[in-house]
């Protein structure tokens, strides 16, 4: 179900690196030997020798995590390759420590038929630096009127279904999708927003929007639709995943549904977990414009609590690249979205782990937990498993720049912020997918 271009199977030794894999319970320095793209041995620091021809990565003082998995990115292919394509988007993913990403179908044309999906999977086999999976549209053309051929799309490799970017506004259509899920399988990923409440809103509704004179998107625009859809999923016994939670009311709606036995999971983005609408007061920066919008501090705290207690299963970036000229316009005119793949770990680590709010192990878990929601294997640091990990320097401090991204676009909401934690290397599907330019490799 995941596609990437063939990479040479890695032969390498990461020496003395602190391995942290919350799911297998490893949290100590190790030598990690990769042979033929598989984790061949885990040993005490200094115990393993690099075989002939293998490169050695000096891991002392650095961490090795199971690679991150992002269930929500926009690779903009087909049709909007001026913003991003499969090559640039997966290079950005690799630079962020990701070993798999799942692309959304709101492209041009929309991924709503098997031929489009097949051609995309083929393109990924040619271009993708890390494995890419695809979710297909729930409704044809994302128009919300009629269902796609979900069964055929599943056979063609769709991991699940979503109309992301838009809600499935008509309850009757979503109900039919939930019924059809019994045949087709695949989770329904839902962008929750009542368009009659969001109106022409461009930011969170509250004191900041009142001050700026900008039309607001109320929190209840999201939470009311979550409540509706959770009720439908409960009634039909279907499985839904709520995308990019942003408000306290939404966390509460998901928690209530889960308590009531509904099969519902949820994700939150690094920006919603770390930033608030107050950031717009200093400068009306269009990079801070996304949907759902950055909300209030109380909402942000609720998201963090939800991530901690599992109401929110995973962190998803909603990586949404836009070209420079599209964002260099007045705030109300700018498209919604921020890039996120290259800053996700550092943003969450800096603001939440170093801020003393969440333990590192929990953050590492939530950065790959999205795999399970889409029935993908969870990366693990275990002998005999394919190598899917990233090596991270937690001490490295860096400023998120205006330029210099692997992504084709530069609309990153963290631009100008100083973050800690830098991904030095990423091994995905057994091959080296990323190596930081300044990163010294011994004996390569």
Token pair, residue 134, equals 């695809």
> Tokens 């630079």 appear where?
95
- Residue 318 annotated as catalytic: yes
Q: Using the Cα atoms of residue 363, residue 432, residue 30 and residue 419 in order, give the sign of their dihedral.
A: negative
> Tokens 């190790």 appear where?
30
Q: Which C-beta is closer to another protein: that of 212 or that of 362?
A: 212
Position 213 contacts another protein (CB under 8 A): yes
Q: Spell out, one character per residue from 126 to 165, where the chain touches another protein: x when CB under 8 A holds, - when not.
A: ----------------------------------------
Q: What is the dihedral of CA 330, 331, 332, 334, to 10 degrees?
A: 90
Position 90 contacts another protein (CB under 8 A): no
Position 298 contacts another protein (CB under 8 A): no
Position 212 contacts another protein (CB under 8 A): yes
Q: Which C-beta is closer to another protein: that of 196 or that of 438?
A: 196
Dist CA 228 CA 50 (whole Å)? 57
Position 194 contacts another protein (CB under 8 A): no
Output the furthest CA–CA distance in the chain (Å, rounded): 66
Active-site position among 318, 365, 375, 393: 318
Position 201 contacts another protein (CB under 8 A): no
From the list 79-87, 203-211, 301-309, 392-400, the region that binds another protein by CB under 8 A is: 203-211
Position 210 contacts another protein (CB under 8 A): yes
Dist CA 138 CA 148 (whole Å)? 6
Position 441 contacts another protein (CB under 8 A): no
Q: Is 274 helix (H, G, I), strand (E, B) or coil?
A: helix
> Tokens 């625009």 appear where?
221
Neighbours of 382 (CB within 10 A): 15
Position 333 contacts another protein (CB under 8 A): yes
- Burial degree of 80 (CB within 10 A; 0-12, 13-18, 19+): middle
Q: Which of 61, 207, 237, 443 binds another protein (CB under 8 A)?
A: 207
Position 8 contacts another protein (CB under 8 A): no
Position 331 contacts another protein (CB under 8 A): yes
* Contacting residues toward another protein, per CB under 8 A: 205-214, 216, 218, 283-284, 325, 328-333
What amino acid positions are annotated as catalytic residues? Answer: 318
């Amino acid at each position: 179900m995941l596609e990437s271009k063939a990479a040479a199977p890695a032969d390498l030794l990461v020496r003395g690196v602190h391995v942290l894999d919350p799911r297998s319970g490893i949290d100590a320095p190790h030598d990690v030997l990769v042979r033929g793209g598989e984790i061949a041995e885990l040993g005490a620091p200094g115990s393993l020798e690099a075989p002939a021809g293998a490169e050695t990565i000096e891991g002392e003082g650095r961490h090795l995590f199971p690679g991150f998995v992002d269930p929500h990115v926009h690779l903009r292919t087909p049709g909007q390759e001026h913003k991003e394509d499969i090559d640039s988007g997966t290079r950005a993913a690799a630079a962020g420590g990701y070993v798999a990403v799942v692309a959304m179908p709101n492209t041009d044309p929309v991924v709503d038929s098997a031929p489009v999906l097949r051609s995309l999977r083929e393109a990924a086999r040619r271009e993708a630096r890390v494995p890419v999976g695809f979710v297909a549209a729930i409704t044809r053309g994302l128009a919300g009127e009629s269902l796609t051929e979900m069964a055929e799309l599943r056979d063609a490799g769709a991991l699940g279904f979503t109309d992301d970017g838009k809600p499935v506004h008509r309850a009757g259509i979503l109900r039919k999708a939930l019924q059809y899920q019994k045949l087709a399988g695949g989770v329904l990923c839902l962008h929750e927003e009542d368009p009659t409440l969001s109106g022409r809103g461009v930011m969170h509704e509250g004191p900041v929007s009142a001050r700026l004179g900008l039309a607001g998107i109320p929190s209840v625009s999201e939470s009311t639709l979550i409540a509706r859809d959770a009720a439908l999923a409960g009634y039909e016994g279907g499985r839904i995943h709520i995308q990019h939670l942003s408000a306290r009311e939404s966390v509460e709606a998901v928690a209530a549904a889960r308590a009531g036995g509904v099969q519902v999971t949820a994700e939150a983005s690094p920006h919603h977990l770390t930033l608030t609408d107050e950031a717009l007061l200093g400068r009306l920066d269009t990079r801070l414009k996304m949907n759902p919008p950055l909300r209030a501090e109380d909402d942000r705290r609720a998201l963090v609590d939800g991530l901690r207690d599992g109401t929110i299963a995973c962190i998803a970036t909603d990586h949404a690249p836009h070209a420079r000229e599209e964002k260099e316009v007045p705030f109300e005119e700018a498209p919604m979205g921020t890039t996120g793949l290259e800053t996700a770990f550092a943003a969450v680590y800096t603001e939440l782990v170093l801020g003393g709010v969440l333990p590192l192990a929990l953050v590492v878990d939530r950065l790959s937990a999205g795999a399970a929601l889409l029935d993908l294997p969870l990366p693990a640091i275990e002998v005999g498993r394919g190598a899917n990990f990233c090596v991270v320097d937690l001490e490295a401090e860096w400023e998120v720049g205006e330029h210099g991204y692997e992504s084709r676009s530069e609309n990153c909401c963290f631009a100008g912020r100083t973050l800690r934690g830098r991904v030095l290397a990423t091994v995905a599907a057994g091959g080296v997918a990323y190596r930081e330019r300044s990163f010294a490799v011994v004996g390569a």
